[in-house]
Amino acid sequence: MTTTTYPQVLTRRMTEHPADSHTLARYEATGGYQQARAAMGMTREQLVETVKESGLIGRGGAGFSAGMKWSFLAPPRPSYLVVNGDESEPGTFKDRQLLERDPHQMIEGIIIASVANEVHEAFIYIRGEYPKPARRVQHAIDEAYAAGYLGDGIFGSDYQLDVTVHLGGGAYICGEETALINSLEGRRGEPRLKPPYFPAAKGLYMLPTIVNNVETVSNLPHILEMGADAYKALGHDKDTGTFLFSVSGHVKRPGNYELPHGITWRELIFDIAGGMLDGRELKAWIPGGASAPWFVPEEHLDMPITKDDCGQAGSMLGSGAVIVMDDSTCMVKAAERVVRFFAHESCGQCTPCREGTTWMQQILARIEEGHGRAVDLDLLLDVSDNISPGLAWPPKMTTICPLGPSAVSPVTSLAKYFREEVEAHVTEGRCPLG
Ligand SMILES: Cc1cc2nc3c(=O)[nH]c(=O)nc-3n(C[C@H](O)[C@H](O)[C@H](O)COP(=O)(O)O)c2cc1C
Ligand code: SF4
């Protein structure tokens, strides 16, 4: 975790006590589990209302109100809570730190979310490539059971809550909530059709299920502790609370930063992340994970970082992953690399995604290798249009889930900002950057 002068909430303990921030002893010595205790005396309505009032938006990428999602939970019980720690979006690495360095903060959030949603069985789905975070989480769960904070009669009440850790097999698509649910059930990790399979109505084992991201859940103890108004005041306008940005690429100080919304991209990239390496120029950045359309300095550097501003500019903050590229970057190569990822991770259910992402990757590869044709950019856009009709933002889709349209983002970004660079590859028969 890299610190700034902005208030730290979720990351304070790991910054101030790096040696033992993951232990129960440190967690309790710094006020831990007081809010879960308090939640035991609150009703579902009180908890849902508090989270709604706080304006907490899910941190997994879709940006949906947490309190609103909770209020949609269908009446049949039992209901389940699933915490999404699949974190496979390229450029995103904030949940890893939360899992590894402050697992009790998330577990306290799980207790609060469970009481609010009448859940007695919660699951934490962690990507398979995160063995240390998974070990730390399991150890923290064992500590919480031994202390009487999980299991039968938690905190001396008659409430029972069990929590199970499940390691994924490394598939990006299992981060999509319905694919994750399939995977938890032991099925292939393939997204389900929505409707009818909205998890809050028909989720795990076809029962009502709340799926929330690790960071979303980790916010809950702080919302109860400081109250909805103080939590809101930490943020900017509709973007309440703090937000974890994972900054990577050609910057001097890559890392995770806990920041309020409303600062500008210039402040994030140059002041906070230290600016460009080796005195190079900023060429472009991906503002919200590999699925997001790109931004360029001429248009976006002084734009405030808010959900609405990003949306109006044709992109999104997504999971908070900012990938910065300098002027040595071949944009065709960058697009090919991102599209190759999506082609590899496509689950294959939908023809436009299964076939289209592979075609797009092959076309980009031949342009990058100097074998491109003059029609190739139009062909890329045509294939993209079959996946995401109209090439609009937010994307429309011919597919079951948004993975297919995610592969379109680098292509539309190329066409919008780097058409000349693509054409130079074709006319010169090589990468113009050498
Ligand atoms: C292809 C794809 C991958 C996703 N990967 C993740 C992920 O790794 N972690 C995550 O929390 N949400 C991921 N999501 C979003 C989830 O479907 C879901 O919206 C989220 O877990 C809900 O939690 P939240 O409301 O707290 O954000 C992904 C969505 C898609 C379409
Ligand atoms: S869009 Fe792609 S990843 Fe999503 S369900 Fe269809 S084939 Fe699978």
Per-residue model confidence as pLDDT tens digits over 145-158: 999 999 999 999 99
DSSP line for 151-186: BSSGGGSS--BEEEEEE--S-GGGGSHHHHHHHHTT
Identify the three-state secondary structure at position 149. Answer: coil
In this structure, are 284 and 397 located in the same domain?
no
Our measurement of the distance from residue 372's CA atom to the centroid of its chain's CA atoms, rounded to an integer in Å, reads: 34
Per the structure, the count of domains in the chain is: 3
Per-residue model confidence as pLDDT tens digits over 258-312: 999 999 999 999 999 999 999 999 999 999 999 999 999 999 999 999 999 999 9
Higher pLDDT, 323 or 319: 323
3-state helix, strand, coil in the chain (%, to 5): 45, 15, 40
Ligand 1 near 83 CB (within 6 A): no
Residue with the smallest CA separation from ligand 1 atom 2 is: 176
Is the pLDDT score of 78 beyond 90? no
In this structure, are 55 and 140 located in the same domain?
yes
Ligand 2 near 348 CB (within 6 A): yes
Our measurement of the distance from residue 340's CA atom to the centroid of its chain's CA atoms, rounded to an integer in Å, reads: 20
* pLDDT recorded at residue 176: 98
Q: Where is 421: in which H helix or E strand?
A: helix 419-428
Question: Please, what is the average pLDDT of the chain?
Answer: 96
Ligand 1 center from residue 372 Cα (angstroms) = 35
In this structure, are 318 and 342 located in the same domain?
no
Ligand 2 near 179 CB (within 6 A): no
In this structure, are 317 and 415 located in the same domain?
no
Ligand 1 center from residue 89 Cα (angstroms) = 9
Residue 7 lies in a domain: no
The whole-model pTM stands at: 0.97
Residue of 211, 220, 341 to mutate, ligand 1, most atoms within 8 A of C-beta: 211
In this structure, are 53 and 152 located in the same domain?
yes
CB-based contacts of 35: which residues, under 8 Å, 6+ apart? Answer: 108, 112, 220, 221, 224, 225
The number of the ligand 1 atom at minimal distance from the alpha carbon of 214 is 11
Domain holding 289, by residue range, is 243-326
In this structure, are 179 and 252 located in the same domain?
no
Residue of 59, 176, 388 to mutate, ligand 1, most atoms within 8 A of C-beta: 176
